[in-house]
């Protein structure tokens, strides 16, 4: 197959959801339906062991598992689907956000009882900023849940895009009768159970089929009315609008019961885009170009602490990766020839022979590769758009032994570059360095790594801050005035970008009112 044929059959996506909405269950069912795993339950078991403890040592032991399960590749209907995991729960960290920069589409899972929840919203912000197309799956219809029309309205208001239902539920909870496929004008009848793959589900044709009305009574009468209402009120599905992030197709189902999963897989194949071009500072890179290029979007400590190597996750942007090929790191000009590069076929780590745009390969290394690094066959490229997000948790850091202050700084700079944590240096003289994170676990990881990798016993202390905004202005004088007036709250990050640290949203509102010419950014791009 040619490179462009290989690119055309790839779909790279992430599932975004709030914890407990059913992401693990759906992931597993997608793998099951694609034939990548035989028995349901294996992903679940991994999740259980991964979250059994929030203790960092324990997590480090589990790293092997999360490395293997953080990218899953499966084949379905001739397409290669790459599913990138966005860890939730206590693993939640900035990595999660950056994973979203490596996908071409997102699958949003919503618990129909809870609607759009906070963690989903945070991830959605990233998708919206990048105009990533989103497919929506509303899960758990086998329970008593919210009215589907209300859910649609909620999605629309949170996403700021039109929700276009492809299917519609008939009843819910105990009376859940199935989903009506609006586009194909037929109903798939619900049957509880996890044993089947859904190939033998009962299908009843036609919205006006008296059989459906008779069998599902009031539930169907209501669904019928709603479907007609939608037909009149909702916009028609427009593929271009979906690709531009202005419409989301919506599916209903029950992942645990293998119900509605097939439709989601089909939507990924039929609707989600193939890998697109990537913008580098130098030029736009097309996925079909013959030469290889890829970008490191995630660095993860490997399972073997004795070797302290890390796996750099590289999203292939163009060309073809062949095992044993020589690659140049654009940032340093260094040449590497990794020979134990892994792919992630159905959760097993396997040596990769070839990979194409959209695929993710894992390169074990000892710190040669950093977050944001670009690998090429020699050309120098720097991709834009790897985001850093304003932290929401802060801790001050000091070293117990003052003689090791230098090691502390070195360690923090390196960990900062790797994206493990954000480091802020206050403008005020004598202030302690501040660590900023999105997830609490990031602090534990950093304290542990400072001790074991840099020999620094760091003391982390509570900080009064819980918000940060990077500040810029077209008017340097105005910016300086703002900084002088707020000197105690100004700090610089690892690339010397200026940040304003705050302890409440009210403070931000006041600052915005007083200094309309200063811009407050929640996100900063790498490089």
Contacting residues toward ligand G4P, per CB under 6 A: 17, 19-25, 44, 88, 139-140, 142-143, 254-257
- Residue 395 CB, nearest approach to ligand G4P (Å): 27
Residues facing 10 on adjacent strands: 80
CA-based angle 470:116:42, to the nearest 5? Answer: 100
Residue placing its CB nearer to ligand G4P in the complex, 92 or 500: 92
Q: How far is the CB of 47 from ligand G4P (least distance, A)?
A: 6
Tell me whether residue 87 is annotated as binding.
Answer: yes
Nearer Cβ to ligand G4P (126/255): 255
Dihedral sign for Cα atoms in the order 112, 114, 119, 123: positive
CA 19 – CA 36 distance, rounded (Å): 24
* Distance in Å, CB of 51 to ligand G4P, minimum: 9
Encode 424-447: b = buried (16+ Cβ within 10 Å), e = exposed: bbbbeeeeebbbbbbbebbbbbbb
Cβ nearer to ligand G4P, comparing 45 with 211: 45
Query: Rounded to 5 degrees, what are φ and ψ at 524?
Result: -130, 140
Are 201 and 189 within 8 A, CB to CB? Answer: yes
Closer CB to ligand G4P, residue 10 or residue 50?
Answer: 50
Q: What tokens were used for 405? A: 């202050």
Q: Is 362 annotated as a binding residue?
A: no
Nearer to ligand G4P by Cβ, of 176 and 344: the residue is: 176
Q: Give the shortest CB-98-to-ligand G4P separation in angstroms.
A: 20
User: Was 199 annotated as part of a binding site?
Assistant: no
Is 88 annotated as belonging to a binding site? yes
CB of 193 to ligand G4P, least distance (A): 12
Answer yes or no: is 17 a known binding residue. yes
- Least separation in angstroms between CB 23 and ligand G4P: 3
Q: Is 24 annotated as a binding residue?
A: yes
Tell me if 463 is assigned to a ligand binding site.
Answer: no
Nearest to 442 by CA among 8, 81, 92: 92
- Which structure tokens are listed for 315? 């999203």
Residue 466 burial (10 A CB sphere; 0-12, 13-18, 19+): middle
Q: Is 241 annotated as a binding residue?
A: no
Residues whose CB falls within 8 Å of the CB of residue 11, separated by 6 or more in sequence, listed in order: 79, 80, 81, 82, 104, 105, 268, 269, 272, 273, 274, 358
Please, what is the minimum distance in Å from the beta carbon of residue 145 to ligand G4P? 9
Is residue 184 classed as helix, strand or coil in its secondary structure?
A: coil
Q: Is 68 labelled a binding residue?
A: no
CA dist., res. 264 & res. 252, Å (int)? 9
Residue 206: left (phi > 0), alpha (psi -120 to 50), or beta? left
Q: Is 200 annotated as a binding residue?
A: no
Least Å distance between CB 135 and ligand G4P? 16
Asked if residue 120 lies in contact with residue 18, where contact means CB atoms within 8 angstroms, the answer is yes
Residue nearer to ligand G4P on the CB measure, 258 or 317: 258
Q: Residues at the annotated binding site for GTP?
A: 17-24, 85-89, 139-142
Q: Residues at the annotated binding site?
A: 17-24, 85-89, 139-142
């Amino acid at each position: 197959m040619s490179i462009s044929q290989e690119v055309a059959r790839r779909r790279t996506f992430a599932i975004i959801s709030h914890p407990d909405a059913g992401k693990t269950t759906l992931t597993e069912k997608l793998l099951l339906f694609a034939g990548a795993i035989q028995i349901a339950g294996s992903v679940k078991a991994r999740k259980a062991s991964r979250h059994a403890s929030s203790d960092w040592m324990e997590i480090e032991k589990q790293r092997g598992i999360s490395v293997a399960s953080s990218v899953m590749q499966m084949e379905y209907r001739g397409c290669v689907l790459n599913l990138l995991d966005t860890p939730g729960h206590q693993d939640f960290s900035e990595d999660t956000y950056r994973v979203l920069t490596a996908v071409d589409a997102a699958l949003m899972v919503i618990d129909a009882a809870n609607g759009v929840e906070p963690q989903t919203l945070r991830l959605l912000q990233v998708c919206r900023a990048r105009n990533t197309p989103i497919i929506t799956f509303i899960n758990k219809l086998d329970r008593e849940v919210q009215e589907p029309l209300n859910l649609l309205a909620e999605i629309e208001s949170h996403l700021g895009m039109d929700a276009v239902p492809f299917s519609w539920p008939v009843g819910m909870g105990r009376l859940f009768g199935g989903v009506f496929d609006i586009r194909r004008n037929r109903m798939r009848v619900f049957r509880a159970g996890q044993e089947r793959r859904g190939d033998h589900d009962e299908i009843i044709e036609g919205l006006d089929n008296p059989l459906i009305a008779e069998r599902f009574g009031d539930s169907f009468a209501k669904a019928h009315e709603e479907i007609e209402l939608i037909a009149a009120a909702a916009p028609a599905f427009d593929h271009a609008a979906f690709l531009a992030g202005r419409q989301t197709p919506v599916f209903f189902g029950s992942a645990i019961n293998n119900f509605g999963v097939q439709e989601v897989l089909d939507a990924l194949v039929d609707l989600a885009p193939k890998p697109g071009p990537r913008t580098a500072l130098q030029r736009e890179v097309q996925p079909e170009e013959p030469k290889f290029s890829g970008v490191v979007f995630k660095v993860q400590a490997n399972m073997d602490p004795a070797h302290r190597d890390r796996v750099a996750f590289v999203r292939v942007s163009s060309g073809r990766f062949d095992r044993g090929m020589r690659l140049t790191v654009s940032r340093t000009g260094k040449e590497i020839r990794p020979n134990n590069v892994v792919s992630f076929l159905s959760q097993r780590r396997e040596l990769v022979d070839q990979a194409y745009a959209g695929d993710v390969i894992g390169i074990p290394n000892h710190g040669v590769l950093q977050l944001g690094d670009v690998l090429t066959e020699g050309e120098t490229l720097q991709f834009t758009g790897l985001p850093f997000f304003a932290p929401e948790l802060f801790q001050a850091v000091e070293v117990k032994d003052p003689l090791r202050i230098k090691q502390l700084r070195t360690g923090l700079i390196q960990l900062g570059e790797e994206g493990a944590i954000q480091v802020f240096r206050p403008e005020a003289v004598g202030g302690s360095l501040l660590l900023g994170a999105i997830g609490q676990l990031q602090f534990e990881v950093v304290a542990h790594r400072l001790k074991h990798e840099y020999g620094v016993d760091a003391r982390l202390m509570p900080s009064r801050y819980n918000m940060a905004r990077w500040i810029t202005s077209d008017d340097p004088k105005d910016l300086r005035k703002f900084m002088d007036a707020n000197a105690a709250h100004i700090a610089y990050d690892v690339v010397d970008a200026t940040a304003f640290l705050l302890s409440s949203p009210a403070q931000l509102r006041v600052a915005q009112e007083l200094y309309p010419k200063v811009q407050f950014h929640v996100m900063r791009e790498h490089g």
